[in-house]
């Protein structure tokens, strides 16, 4: 049985909002082991330009197919990559549940990410929309598909941390 967006329960909406907020908290705290836990085993995670997404293109600025690639990205950032220390702050608004069935929730939300480097004023890193498929795995909501679709023409600085 599919639930239309107009009949989504307050409890389901709150659970999805909590998922988005907890995800942002993990990334902002740079707790990448916790970040990996927000994805299902068969997850696809992409950070992709709006025009590429609109054209149905599969190439993306960041593309991870499966939990192994997502875990590899986290490990690389924690143990291998060298980058200037930074602090991110995610601001997520407009959470919408478009469809919900017994096994899948289709949702979206707007995001804005502010980046602060040690020796510079905070700047707008990225703005866009999450388009997600969410499932329950092990009794917890997680992302089976997460597209972070950014609106700007190009990524202004190095894209290090997850979006």
User: What is residue 33's predicted lDDT score, i.e. its pLDDT?
Assistant: 93
Dist CA 66 CA 25 (whole Å) = 22
- Each of the 163 residues of the chain gets a pLDDT tens digit; together they read 455 555 678 999 999 999 999 999 999 999 999 999 999 999 999 999 999 999 998 888 889 999 999 999 888 777 665 567 778 899 999 999 999 998 999 999 999 999 888 888 898 889 999 999 999 999 999 999 999 999 987 776 667 778 8
Q: What is the pLDDT of residue 115?
A: 87
Which residue in 62, 120, 117 sits closest to 89, CA to CA?
Answer: 117
Q: Which residue has the tokens 């197919």?
A: 65
Within 13 Å of residue 23, how many CA atoms lie on the same side as its CB?
A: 24
Tokens, residue 62: 């960041």
What confidence score (pLDDT) does residue 132 get? 98
Q: From residue 137, give the alpha-carbon distance in Å to each of 36, 41, 153.
A: 13, 9, 35
- Pair of tokens at residue 61: 């600025």
pLDDT at 85: 75
**Token code pair at residue 137:** 């795995």
User: Which domains are seen in the chain, by residue range?
Assistant: 3-150 (3.10.450.50)
């Amino acid at each position: 049985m599919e639930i239309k967006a107009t009949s989504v329960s307050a409890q389901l909406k709150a659970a999805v909002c909590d998922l988005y907020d907890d995800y942002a908290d993990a990334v902002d705290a740079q707790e990448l082991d916790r970040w990996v836990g927000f994805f299902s085993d068969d997850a696809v995670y992409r950070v992709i330009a709006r025009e590429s997404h609109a054209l149905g293109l599969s190439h993306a600025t960041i593309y991870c197919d499966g939990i192994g690639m997502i875990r590899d990205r986290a490990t690389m950032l924690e143990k291998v990559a060298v980058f200037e220390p930074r602090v991110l702050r995610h601001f997520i608004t407009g959470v919408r549940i478009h469809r919900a069935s017994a096994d899948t929730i289709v949702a979206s939300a707007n995001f804005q990410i502010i980046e602060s480097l040690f020796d510079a004023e905070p700047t707008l890193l990225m703005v866009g929309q999450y388009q997600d498929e969410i499932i329950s795995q092990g009794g917890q909501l997680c992302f089976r598909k997460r597209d972070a679709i950014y609106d700007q023409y190009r990524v202004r600085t190095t894209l290090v941390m997850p979006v």
